[in-house]
Structure 1
Amino acid sequence: MFIEDKINQLAESFFSEHEGNVYRFLVESLERPLLERVLISTKGNQLEASRILGINRNTLRDKLRKLGIKKQ
């Protein structure tokens, strides 16, 4: 797996630099580019994007609002 390999490569410095916040840091680091990419792929169609991601459309909208991501 690509992501697992990258985490293993960065483990020592990454975990010590972000101790106590590793989970939140990873989620925040991955979530924005993932949501932006899916919205580009769906030409801004949030219903289709939510289906691809496997999350509720309202959950997607909340995440977009919290991250300040505008409709593509």
Structure 2
Amino acid sequence: MRRYLADIGDTECAEGLHALVLREVEVPLLREVLAFHDGNQSRAASALGINRATLRKKLAAHGLL
């Protein structure tokens, strides 16, 4: 995280740092967890600690469905 912050420096981010980091990390995380569980959304959601409906909402929002 420190390296990431150092890389972006004082760059302004209209959406805020939290949203920026989530956008950068969430898509690869979702892809990897789904791949690890062979596309099984129920198992992937369980591993992520979210319910399946929330996982599907996130997948749809990122165009991963």
Find the aligned partners of 1:10 and 1:59 in 2 and give their Cα distance: 27
5+ residue gaps, structure 2: none
1:11 to 2:5 alignment: yes
CA drift of 1:23 comes to 0.7
- TM-score, with structure 1 as normaliser: 0.78
1:25 to 2:3 alignment: no
Number of the residue aligned with 2:36: 41
- TM-score, with structure 2 as normaliser: 0.86
5+ residue gaps, structure 1: 1-6
CA drift of 1:8 comes to 1.0
Alpha carbons 1:42, 1:49 under 8 Å: kept: yes
Following superposition, which runs of at least 4 residues in structure 1 exceed 3 angstroms of deviation? none
* Per-residue Cα deviation, 1:14-43 (whole angstroms, up to 9, x for no partner): 251144521101001000000000010011
Cα-Cα RMSD? 1.5
Provide the aligned length of Structure 1 versus Structure 2: 64
Identity %: 33
Task: Name whichever structure is richer in helix by fraction.
Answer: 1
Alpha carbons 1:15, 1:22 under 8 Å: kept: no
